Amino acid sequence: MKLLLTGGCGFIGSAVLRRLLRTTEDIIINVDKVTYAASEDALEEGPTHPRHQLIRADICDHAAMTQIFATHSPDAVMHLAAESHVDRSIDGPGAFVQTNVVGTYTLLDAARAYWAGLPAERRGKFRFHHISTDEVFGALSLGEKPFTESTPYDPRSPYSASKAASDHLARAWHHTYGLPVIVSNTANNYGPWQFPEKLIPLMILNALAGQPLPVYGDGSNQRDWIFVDDHADALVRVLKHGQPGATYAIGARQPRSNLQVVHAICAALDARLPDPAGPRSRLIAFVTDRPGHDFRYEIDPSHAETTLGWKAVHNFDTGLAKTIDWYLAHRTWWETIRTQRYGGQRLGAVG
């Protein structure tokens, strides 16, 4: 299979790319604008791999997308390119509308024209896998059942609204034009190569530096956590075995409050590298909550587990241990990011 992968230099996209290179014979055309949160380092063996080609391009550029389809003639698309940080969407929603909505429309439109011109056999096998988030479903209160594939949409932030719009466009292209679209929605991802503005890497790096660990509100907001390699495995299975028109909710059944996550990070770091100044939990600092902060997300992955024969391998403890060990072993990468892009200062609260 020749696969067009958008956002392959991003956190989740690079995990998918590494899995495909290591477990399949697929050829990967990686289309990425390589914005601030992307990292070619995260491709690991990708840059020199004979089955991978990186094309620096913007998915909002219709001419470029049309040319890429015509030149590379892919058998499928995995669309991961997106702006994904909620705090950034509150401060600057325009970029999220542009990339997540306009970019998805542009890619769908180019894919539809390309797909319509394929021979019947290739047209029947073509797939467009659109990857999204559980945040499009809104927020859960304590005691409410987790999200499923049939949960109504209720986005609350500019980020989740832009992703909801992109989901609706993808499904509309399936129902209106027949484009064989599959949608998946997932929980909070964590693991190696995640950009340091996200909750888990931010807390790891601030704790190592002895800097405050800023937690929104009282830290009771809950998230469902999935190790990125487990998600990548699920996404590959969705692409290869999912049904056009279907939706797959991908989760690991590992809900934690933000405060629980931060305490777990502190305890794990204290066990590995004790701080002479005392337990790192002393660094936790509660800060003013962000606007419209959703209280709880959680996914019921039963449908994906049953239909795809997939289940997350990592529980939160094993995934977090792998993640912390990775950041400890890759100081040069994240120290460079913090120095070059943030002047070495701590980042803001997340979660």
Please identify which of the residues 135, 167, 294, 298 carries the catalytic annotation: 135
C-alpha 35: how far from chain center: 15
Please identify which of the residues 26, 83, 134, 298 carries the catalytic annotation: 134
DSSP 292-303: T---B--B--HH
Burial grade of 36 (CB within 10 A; 0-12, 13-18, 19 or more): exposed
Q: How many CA atoms lie within 13 A of 23 on its CB side?
A: 12
**Does the annotation count 218 as an active-site position?**
no
Question: Tokens 């290739």 — which residue?
Answer: 122
Question: Tokens 């949960």 — which residue?
Answer: 151
Could you tell me whether strands 188-190 and 181-186 are parallel, antiparallel, or unpaired per DSSP bridges?
A: unpaired
DSSP 157-220: SHHHHHHHHHHHHHHHHHHHH---EEEEEE-EEE-TT--TTSHHHHHHHHHHHT--EEEETTS-
Amino acid identity for residue 322 in this structure: K
Amino acid identity for residue 55 in this structure: I
CB 196 within 8 A of CB 337: yes
CB 103 within 8 A of CB 59: yes
Please identify which of the residues 159, 190, 216, 297 carries the catalytic annotation: 159
- For 276-309, b/e burial (b = at least 16 CB within 10 A) is eeeebeebbeeeeebeebbebbbbbbebbbeebe
**Does the annotation count 135 as an active-site position?**
yes
Question: Tokens 């629980």 — which residue?
Answer: 260
C-alpha 36: how far from chain center: 15
Tell me what percent of the chain is helix, strand and coil, each rounded to the nearest 5.
50, 15, 35
Could you tell me whether strands 76-79 and 127-133 are parallel, antiparallel, or unpaired per DSSP bridges?
A: parallel
**Does the annotation count 289 as an active-site position?**
no
Q: Which residues are known catalytic residues?
A: 134-135, 159
